[in-house]
Amino acid sequence: MPFADDAQETIALTRALIAENTIDPPGNEIAAARIVAGRLAAAGIEPVLDEIAPGRVNLSARLPGTGERPGLAMSAHFDTIGVERARWSRDPFAGEIDGPFLYGRGSADMKGGLAAMALAMIDLAKAKARPKGDLMLAFSAAENSSCLGAKRLVSDRRFDGIGALLVSEPTGLAVLVAEKGPLWFRATAQGDYQHGAFTEGRKDDRGNAIVRLARFIDRLHDLDLDAPAHRHLKPPTITVGLIRGGVGAPFIAPEASCDVDVRLVPGLSAEMVMRKVAAMAGPHISLEVLDVKPPVDTPDDHPFVAESLAACADVLGRADGPSGVAYYSDAAIICPALDLPMVIIGPGEIGMSGRIDEHVSVGKLVTSRAIYRRVAQRMLAC
């Protein structure tokens, strides 16, 4: 398949990033960050690498503007979801091209988008663009677990002067303006430990923490969160993702627990959910909030949304959106803290994150670079 020079460059950088195993944990994003840093430095752009943990780094960079407008930040993360190698039909770190697709862990989520964003900035630097506001790259570590990288970017004040956040999570090049927020909590059931052989006279749950937890999970699965309807996002979901407990088959379990993911929508807070869960939990269940990332919602009529849609139309001849998505991004940390509008445009397809044989359309990957460049030109008048 023949590609133009800029297409070959985009593909080559994406493949180089895929080749670096940045599965979180442990992340080890530093190798991928150094690849991007080298490309930026060669184009005269000074990258900043901030170590947030051993082997884990954020990368930020700026193309300085005149200060006449607020800046634009382009956000992506280096880390990826894990790989079950035995289930893949190809090497997840080879960056293999097969027909119209580029395969590999992170191709869609989101090393392809990250590469395209970095090269879009390099394109503008080489063209000697004079933006009226700073163009910033905000590439993070540890997004898939703790969003620690995004938290450090905020606390280190890397976003000073920035007025909007463009994220390259998977959207199939549609323009997304809303994302759900995850609430993660743990429910723990307490039981009465003893040998199961001597509980003939006990009724109901027989003091078994596993049974108590199972009955709680059944109620939780059917819990109506009564969330307000949203123009783009579907109703909230409740997913029990992990169960643990018991000491052995012959014994009444003294303790059992489960970890739960609730996807929040605007108007439904973590506090509201936990009150509802506590009300139906029962006397033997304790609850612990593990993490909360709020939903993010940018109004459809925001100027940043309008410019992003126009940029897609300029490049594609059409614009899909605005719409919303159930996943979260670093925007969940950055936007509430700094009161920034968010738009998500990425070459990967929604639902491709963490998939077996993850892949991205080569055509959309190459096109995303032009879209990011055009968004910057529209927002920063360069």
Q: Return d(Cα 183, Cα 185) in angstroms, integer.
A: 7
pLDDT digits (tens, 9 = 90+) for 117-140: 999 999 999 999 999 999 999 999
Query: 192: which residues sit within 8 A by CB, 6+ positions away?
Result: 207, 252, 254
**246-275: average pLDDT:** 96
1 has pLDDT over 50: no
Cβ distance 341 to 165 under 8 Å?
A: yes
Which of 15-29, 201-215, 305-319 shows the lowest mean pLDDT across its residues? 201-215
Q: What is the pLDDT of residue 199?
A: 76
> Which residue matches tokens 């996807």?
263
146 has pLDDT over 90: no
Q: What is the pLDDT of residue 310?
A: 98
203 has pLDDT over 80: no
**Angle at the Cα of 333 from the Cα atoms of 329 and 336, rounded to 5 degrees:** 115
For the chain, which domains are there?
A: 5-179+295-380 (3.40.630.10), 182-292 (3.30.70.360)
**183-203: average pLDDT:** 86
194 has pLDDT over 90: no
Give me the long-range contacts of 121-128 (CB less than 8 A, separation at least 24): 121/40, 121/45, 121/61, 121/63, 121/74, 121/376, 122/39, 122/40, 122/43, 122/45, 123/6, 123/369, 123/373, 124/63, 124/373, 124/376, 124/377, 124/382, 125/43, 125/44, 125/45, 125/63, 126/43
Q: What pTM was computed for the model?
A: 0.95
Report the length, in residues, of the chain: 382
Closest CA to 258 of 224, 226, 235, 281: 281
Q: What's the pLDDT band for 4 if we cut at 50, 70, 90?
A: low
Q: What's the pLDDT band for 3 if we cut at 50, 70, 90?
A: very low
Q: Return d(Cα 382, Cα 378) in angstroms, integer.
A: 7
Q: What's the pLDDT band for 2 if we cut at 50, 70, 90?
A: very low
